[in-house]
Every structure is written in C-alpha cells, then in structure tokens.
C-alpha cells in the first residue's frame, strides 16, 4: 500500500520524499518528464562528452540549508566545488569587481568601501547558520537566536530604501548584482533580503558547483529515496488528483496555477480565488553554449569567478530589473553567466566546454535569447562569438512549457514580494496545508521560496508527518554507514 504520493520531482519534491521515506512511509513519486530532477537536471546537448545544466548550475543553498546539512551531500559522494571568487561583476572600461570567499580579501580589493563591506556582511557571516535557518524557515516560527533578526532588520531596511553604505562603483555593483537574484523591481524588501542572504554566504558556506553537474545532487536524493523503498513513475503528467487513487497523503511540488488545474472544483471557491491572486514575476531566458575555450573576459579577474553578473553599474541594474518587472522588453537585460569548467575542470572535454547563461526578461517573453545573450557577453568578452561551436536557447515562454511550475518562465515560482513572502501561496497558519484533507503543497510557491535548498519539501513533509502520524521530530537524514553511494 502507498502511504504518500508526491507529484513533481524537483528539489522540493525529492526532499519531501526523502523525509517521508526516512520516517518509514512508502512513497511513490510522479514526474511528467522522462527523468526526475526538475531544476537539477543536467544533460549533454551538443556533444556527448560535455554536460550542460538545464536549469540551476550554482548552489549556495545546497551547501547552507538545514535540509542539505543533515542530508550530507559530501558523504554521499557529491563534491561541492568552491571557486575562490564566488561571484564577480564586469564594469565599463575593462574594470571589474569581485567577491572572494575570504571576506578580508574582498574588503582589501574594495578600497574605501572595504571596511563598510566587512561591517555589513561580517556579522552575518559569523552567524551564517542561524542567518540561513531564519531565511529558510516557514516564516511562522520564532527564531532560535533572537539576535539574528536584530542584525538583519536595519540592514534590510537600509538596502530596501536604497541607503547603501557604499560609495564606490565596485561595491555598489557587487551588492546590486546579488540583489537582482530576487528577479523583480529594485530596490525592494525582498531584494534586500536576498542580497544579504546570498552575499554573506559567499564568505561563509560559499557558492559551490557540484562536480559533474547539478544532476549529481538529484542523483543523491533519488538514490536515498530508492534505498528506502520509494518508487518513481516518470513520463506521467498528473492532470487530476483522482489519478493518484486513495492515497492518504499527497504532496504537490507544483505551482498554484497547476494546483488549480489538477484539483479543480474540489477546492473551495474562496481558496480558488486566493490562488488566482497569486502573482508571478519576470521570466528567465536561457542560453547554452558549447565553446572552444574559456570566456575571454577583458578583465581576467572574471575568469576566476564561479558566477558573473552582467549588468554594468548599479544604476543600470536598477533600471534593467525595474523595467523588466514592468513588462518592458529592453535590449540589455541583467544576466547571470557561468563557465562551469572554471570551478570544475571535469566539465571540459578537450577544447570543448559548456557556458550557461540566464537573462531576466518580462514574464512570458517570446524572444529567442541566444543572440541577445551572446551580444551581452561579447560586450565584456570580445572574441566570445568566435569561440562558439554550438548554441541553444529557451525563451521565457518555452521555459513555461518545459516546466509548468515556471509560469511565464518565472523560475522562482512566485514573485518575491513582502505580501507573498508571508502569504505564499495564500495566508494560512500552516502554509503547506490546503483545504483538501491530506493534500499539501511543497513547491517553491510555499515558504521559504525559491532556490535549491529542499526546505519547502522538507517542511511540508514534517507538517504532514506531524498531523497524520504524530511524528514531531525530523527523521535522521544523514547517510547510513552501510548505504551505497553514487
């Protein structure tokens, strides 16, 4: 007999399955694609010897979240490789700014803003576990360490009101580039929180890339689920809850829009209206390149970075993100660029290597992104075009087809606003429950929101275990001594 069915096998669906299976439940997972993994998928696109990450590539939260700390990826054979420079930022005139793993090294290179950078992020890096656990909570519980909210509140308010402590172009661009990971209007409370979370982890747990590609994280999760009796049904798009049969527990790693479709009239009218009010943010347009050599950045510092933010000075980034959030198509969108072989040399094969790039675009944008992204990289890396062997692009509209959770290509599964942080996807005491008995939401449309941290799935599973099985503590997630690792 099946104890729980999970629909969707992205990071949160897999984390939910790990948690339930570790508690002794028999779990069945349903995935519409031919392979599980969601945003963790990697595959060869152009050459069988070169692996490309289809969605996520860099994983700060896989090194930092409470779920993955307990799951212990390194012990399972997943090497989280750390670049010396987690992120960097090209600027006009061949200049660049960089954030090193070392806070002191970063401060040294920021000149007059060095002490200010240390004062802003140093106290958070010193308490990183507590800071991350607060951000990646259900946002309903009191934090264990009350000093952390006191540290965060004035910093968030200052950044949200554009009162940054920095005066140099370099420091302002570095922080604004990280804030743009919120994928929305700048500045805002959400972008300020995202900036502090991501910027401080660069100096703490880091911004690692899994050796061999993001799929290695998914493989570890899948192996643990299978080892504990879980089974997978791939190539099965669940279109109605009735397809799952009389399963006592159902956890849905799906967007509110998809939930409305598969639950239909079973949902009360008021709840359906609330879900329809849920808002999605700008989309992501993705380009994958197969290239013959490392990106020829004008400033060689950029060639050492795990992630490169392409947006220019901070005023340009604010303009780009605010215009995109308003639905305007602009020719110079903010971009994230990753040359994975910089951090993981195994990703290169001879004179072939992958390049991964996202551009922030309006929700549902249909523009083919390859040329736009190529041209933007070329601005700061003349000669990049000559290195391209093959390319592939997915518009924001195509991303929504690839994964229904990415409504309009919005990979964060819901706009990051103050309201939707507290009412994600609706205002409920337990945000993972639904009006349907035994049916839970566990996608990034629930707290704490997007990124590969597994906490939405883990917290939803804990809620289900508490309510339906009286289990009030998390099952052990660490590997068993005799478990076979991938």
Question: What distance in Å separates the CA atoms of residue 124 and residue 197, rounded to the nearest whole number?
Answer: 9
Q: CA 450, CA 184: separation in Å to the nearest integer?
A: 13
CA distances from 219 to 57, 205, 210, 225, 398 (A): 15, 22, 11, 10, 26
What CA–CA distance (Å, rounded) separates 161 from 159? Answer: 5
Using the Cα atoms of residue 33, residue 38, residue 39 and residue 42 in order, give the sign of their dihedral: negative
Residues in the chain where the model's pLDDT stays below 50: 482, 484-486
Q: What values do phi and psi take at 307, rounded to 5?
A: -130, 135
Distance CA 16, CA 88 (A): 34
**pLDDT value at position 481?**
57
Q: Please tell me the pTM assigned to this model.
A: 0.96
- Specify the pLDDT at position 419: 86
pLDDT of residue 51: 98
Dump the DSSP string for 241-295: GGGG-S-SEEEE-S-HHHHHHHHGGGS-HHHHHHHHT-----EEEEEEEEESSS-
Q: Is 83:304 a contact under the CB 8 Å cutoff? A: yes
CA distance 102 to 164: 21
Q: What is the pLDDT of residues 390-430, one digit of tens each?
A: 999 999 999 888 888 899 999 999 999 888 988 999 999 99
Count other C-beta atoms under 10 Å from residue 347's C-beta. Answer: 24
pLDDT at 485: 40
């Amino acid at each position: 007999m099946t104890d729980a069915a999970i629909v969707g096998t992205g990071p949160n669906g897999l984390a939910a399955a790990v948690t339930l299976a570790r508690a002794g439940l028999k779990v069945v997972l349903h995935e519409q694609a031919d392979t599980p993994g969601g945003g963790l998928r990697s595959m060869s696109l152009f050459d069988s010897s070169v692996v490309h990450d289809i969605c996520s590539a860099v994983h700060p939260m896989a090194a930092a979240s409470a779920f993955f700390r307990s799951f212990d990826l390194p012990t399972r054979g997943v090497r989280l490789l750390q670049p010396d420079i987690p992120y960097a930022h090209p600027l006009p005139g061949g200049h660049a700014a960089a954030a090193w793993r070392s806070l002191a090294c970063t401060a040294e290179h920021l000149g007059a803003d060095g002490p200010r950078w240390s004062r802003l992020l140093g106290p958070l890096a010193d308490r990183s576990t507590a800071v991350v656990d607060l951000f990646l909570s259900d946002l309903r519980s009191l934090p264990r360490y009350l000093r952390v909210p006191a540290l965060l509140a004035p910093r968030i308010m200052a950044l949200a009101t554009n009162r940054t402590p920095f005066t140099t172009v370099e420091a302002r661009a570095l922080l604004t580039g990280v804030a743009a990971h919120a994928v929305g209007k700048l500045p805002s409370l959400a972008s300020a929180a995202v900036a502090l979370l991501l910027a401080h982890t660069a100096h703490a747990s880091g911004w690692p890339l899994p050796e061999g590609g993001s799929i290695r994280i998914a493989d570890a999760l899948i192996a643990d689920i299978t080892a504990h009796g879980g089974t997978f049904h791939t190539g099965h798009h669940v279109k109605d809850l009735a397809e799952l049969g009389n399963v006592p527990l159902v956890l849905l790693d799906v967007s509110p829009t998809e939930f409305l479709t598969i639950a239909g009239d079973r949902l009360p009218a008021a709840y359906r209206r609330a879900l329809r009010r849920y808002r999605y943010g700008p989309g992501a347009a993705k380009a994958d390149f197969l290239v013959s050599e490392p990106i020829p950045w004008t400033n060689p510092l950029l060639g050492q970075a795990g992630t490169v933010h392409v947006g220019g000075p901070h005023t340009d980034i604010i303009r780009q993100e605010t215009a995109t959030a308003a639905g305007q198509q602009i020719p110079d969108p903010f971009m994230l660029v990753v040359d994975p072989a910089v951090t993981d040399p195994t990703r290169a094969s001879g004179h072939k290597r992958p390049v991964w790039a996202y551009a922030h675009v309006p929700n549902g944008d249909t523009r083919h992104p390859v040329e736009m992204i190529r041209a933007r990289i070329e601005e700061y890396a003349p000669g990049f075009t000559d290195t391209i062997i093959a390319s592939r692009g997915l518009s924001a509209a195509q991303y929504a087809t690839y994964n229904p959770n990415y409504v309009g290509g919005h990979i964060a599964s819901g706009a990051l606003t103050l309201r939707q942080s507290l009412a994600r996807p609706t205002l409920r005491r337990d945000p993972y429950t639904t009006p349907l008995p035994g049916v839970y939401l566990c996608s990034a449309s629930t707290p704490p929101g997007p990124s590969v941290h597994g906490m939405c799935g883990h917290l939803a599973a804990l809620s289900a275990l508490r309510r339906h099985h009286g289990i009030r503590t998390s099952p052990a997630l660490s590997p068993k001594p005799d478990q076979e690792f991938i």
